[in-house]
Structure 1
Amino acid sequence: MFRRLKTYQLVTDVVVAGFFALTALFVELQLAPGWGGDFAAVVLAAVLVTILLSGALALRRLSPALALALAWLGAIVQMAFGRPPSPVDLAIFAVLYATAAYGSQLVFWLGFASSFVGALVITVYLVIGPYFGSGGVTWSSIPVALAVLVAAAFALLLSWTVGALVRTGIRARENRDAQRRAEAEAVAEQERVRIARDMHDVVAHSLAVVIAQADGARYAAASDPAAATAALGTISTTARSALADVRLLLTQLRHSQGDGPQPTLADLEELYAQVRAAGVELRVDVDPAPQGDPPAAAQLAVYRILQEALTNALRHGDGGPVGVGLAWHPSRVDVEVRNPIATAVPGAPGHGIIGMRERAQLAGGRLDARADGDVFVVSASLPVGVPA
């Protein structure tokens, strides 16, 4: 029944309606002596009609349904007193506009119907009313009645049509706003997924290295203190690097700013060193080597895929040699990581494998992760385009 309006909108509607009521009442009282009849009854009718139509004007945006009801009540009172049309009737056009622009679906069509019914009532009232009727309907009055009907219907429908056009514009703006919000939410969700994927890659890899080093240090502490010291140094370096990456990711979560520096092919040697420091025999074969500088997106995808694949080798491998193969062709790069399996491969892929596939798909490529006998193979093919 009532729409939610801002305070300034309510104040504006009430002030406009009050000014309209004072102006209309002044005009009505000026015209009252010329209408004949009992002066007190004429003044009473003017006051009642002005109050009803001004109230409808004040409520037109807050409650279009109530405004339409008050407008009809004002018209009925006006006809009951036998008053002719007057300037106060201009409020009816504003009410019809509001029913089309702001009303519910029911009020929208009630306003449309009121335009036709109102035009018909106006025509009948003017033709046979006390001020304009002259002996009822005659053949000579029919053309006049038709002209009045067309003019009244055109005026009332014009107000309603303008409101309908405004309603369409409002709905279009709301749809655009909803679409923008949906797009913003989709972008934010993609960013959260990307950050979660990066967080998983960084934390899982670093923790796998730290665990492997800690286990090695515990076993070597008794027989080789130097090995234990080296392992602790590797743990410290890996943890500091992971902490810096996590802080960068948390900064991206807190602030709307550009991404920080992303890993490139130059960082692969550090990644290999971390894996070797964890006690894994790592064999890397790059053939052919990249010609020029591959696109940054391809470099990041290759780094993250290798990082996750080597992390899985640390967690699930049996300590045997891990093979890494990179083949940089003119239009694509092929990545393969092979490691012996020490633990059973879960039936459903984990977050790491899902993340690797998502990265490959976002880069326009594909990735396959499967167990081939007692060896787990991760193979990917990513497009690189023309080297930068």
Structure 2
Amino acid sequence: MEPVGHPAARLIAPSRWSTTPLDALLAAALFLATLGPGQVLSGPPWLLALQTALVAPLAWRRRAPMTVLGAIGLAAAVQWALDVQLPADAALLVALYTVAARRPWRHTLSAALALQVGVLLAAARWAPPGRFPFTVAALSAMAGAALMSGLWVRGRRAYVTFLERDREQRARLAVAEERARMTRDMHDIVTHNLSVMVALADSAAHVRHSAPDRAAAAMEQVAATGRQALRDMRHSLGSGRDHATWDEDRIEETLQPAPGIAEIGPLAERMRAAGLATCVRVLGDTKAVPAAAQLTIYRLVQEALTNTLRHAPGAGADVRVDVSPRRAEVEVTDVRAPVVLGAPGSPGAGTRAPGPRPGLRDDGRGITGMRERVAAYGGTLDAGPVAGGGWRVLAVLNLGAPR
């Protein structure tokens, strides 16, 4: 992230075209304030020129702080050589403040040391007899005040800039997290529903001659699954859309609650209709689980069942969800015995699926998405084959301290 053109810098420091008039106004005010009661105006012309040389460079103090300090220091050296005291020496304090506020540490240190040398020379020439230490202390205190004021302003500017950059970084991270969430949801929704629709379509094609009524019922289930997929996608994308352009049906769909543990039962029914014999057990008080965690549990079960349906045809699935106020455990295990496609009376019932393939597999995105969901709750995910054949997905979520 480059500092040039940063919003915080634009808020803190005026642009280049606006600094010169403001600084010129400051120089003019200091010039008038240090003229004194006729000391400069009634003196020789070179005295007025010296007064101008001390103050005029301040008009460019924010554009070239070190150059301005050098020019004012040179005029002060001429003043010291001519043995003339002018109140316009206060311009040195303004220049030192500007260097401290706008230049790096090495420039600030050099400017402070140079001004301290000037303080010693001025006190040596103009301090009253016996008052040298007090004069040095007084002038050094004024220089120190100007230096500390500039350093405070620079620190404040850096702090505000840091906060602004941190805010922008957090906004970018939030956008990235939201995109990752939407990607996971789209993967789960599309993969699951398309897998179910493909299984139902294959079932309908298989029984279209022997059982036309079952084929018709399977195609109706395909249409219902497609409509459910559209509703899920609208719900997932609803937070990033302008509701003013939606019709009432879409708004109502978006405002419906996200799926949770209670929807795992209907999910299992759809999987059974697609040919995956699914058994679901829910233990514990699900009402104590937050809605966001329930959505995560639902997506975990959905992804695991989808992978079983796609990559282990003929297998069944056993789903166990065990929840408590501080912990949730989700286990999905595929059963390797061949099963009949569809529950009794469902579309495609009576047809046998091909033999199971070894292990539940996916393209890598499903398992990665599940790991990301579980990691958001400081949990763990274990996915792999089990003894005797089959595949198990075991996720443990820490509901007490979601990250």
Residues 325 and 231 of structure 1, relative CA distance in 2, 3 Å threshold: same
Q: Which residue in 2 is equivalent to 1:381?
A: 396
Residues 323 and 76 of structure 1, relative CA distance in 2, 3 Å threshold: same
Verify the 8 A CA contact 2:360 2:390 in the aligned structure 1: no
Q: Counterpart of 1:31 in 2: which secondary structure?
A: coil
Cα distance in 1 for partners of 2:227, 2:46 equals 88
Say if 2:274 is the partner of 1:278: yes
Say if 2:302 is the partner of 1:307: yes
1:236-287 Cα shifts (integer Å, max 9, x gaps): 222222222222333323579x99622122212221122122122223344x
Verify the 8 A CA contact 1:220 1:227 in the aligned structure 2: yes
Residues 334 and 345 of structure 1, relative CA distance in 2, 3 Å threshold: closer
Gaps of 5+ in 2: 244-253, 337-355
TM-score by length of 1: 0.79
Q: How many residues of Structure 1 are paired with residues of Structure 2 in the alignment? A: 357
Say if 2:39 is the partner of 1:44: no
Verify the 8 A CA contact 2:313 2:357 in the aligned structure 1: yes
Residues 106 and 260 of structure 1, relative CA distance in 2, 3 Å threshold: farther
Q: Which residue in 1 is equivalent to 2:248?
A: none
Equivalent of residue 204 in structure 2, options 196, 217, 220: 217
Say if 2:25 is the partner of 1:15: yes
Residue type of the partner of 2:145?
L
Q: Counterparts of 1:190-339 in structure 2 under 5 Å?
A: 190-254=177-241, 261-286=257-282, 289-291=283-285, 293-296=287-290, 297-328=292-323, 332-339=327-334
Residues 103 and 55 of structure 1, relative CA distance in 2, 3 Å threshold: farther
Verify the 8 A CA contact 2:308 2:360 in the aligned structure 1: no
1:336-370 Cα shifts (integer Å, max 9, x gaps): 22224525666x98221222233334335433111
Which deviates more, 217-226 or 93-102? Answer: 217-226
Say if 2:38 is the partner of 1:30: yes
Residue type of the partner of 2:72?
A
Cα distance in 2 for partners of 1:375, 1:67 equals 79
- Offset at residue 72 of structure 1 (A): 1.2
- Offset at residue 327 of structure 1 (A): 4.0
Residue type of the partner of 2:49?
V
Q: Which residue in 2 is equivalent to 1:183?
A: 170
Residue type of the partner of 1:380?
A
Residues 260 and 97 of structure 1, relative CA distance in 2, 3 Å threshold: farther
Residue type of the partner of 1:65?
M
Q: Counterpart of 2:39 in 1: which secondary structure?
A: helix
Residues 292 and 24 of structure 1, relative CA distance in 2, 3 Å threshold: closer
Q: Counterparts of 1:120-159 in structure 2 under 5 Å?
A: 120-126=120-126, 141=129, 143-159=130-146
Gaps of 5+ in 1: 36-41, 133-140
Q: What is the root-mean-square deviation of aligned Cα atoms in Å? A: 3.3
Cα distance in 2 for partners of 1:5, 1:240 equals 56
Cα distance in 2 for partners of 1:268, 1:197 equals 18
Q: Counterpart of 2:112 in 1: which secondary structure?
A: helix
Residues 32 and 266 of structure 1, relative CA distance in 2, 3 Å threshold: closer
Cα distance in 2 for partners of 1:112, 1:218 equals 89
- Between the aligned residues of both structures, percent identity stands at 31
Q: Which residue in 2 is equivalent to 1:342?
A: 357
Residues 330 and 24 of structure 1, relative CA distance in 2, 3 Å threshold: closer
1:100-126 Cα shifts (integer Å, max 9, x gaps): 111122221122212311212212443
Residues 182 and 73 of structure 1, relative CA distance in 2, 3 Å threshold: same
Q: Counterparts of 1:42-121 in structure 2 under 5 Å?
A: 42-50=44-52, 52-80=53-81, 82=82, 84-121=84-121
Residues 55 and 215 of structure 1, relative CA distance in 2, 3 Å threshold: farther
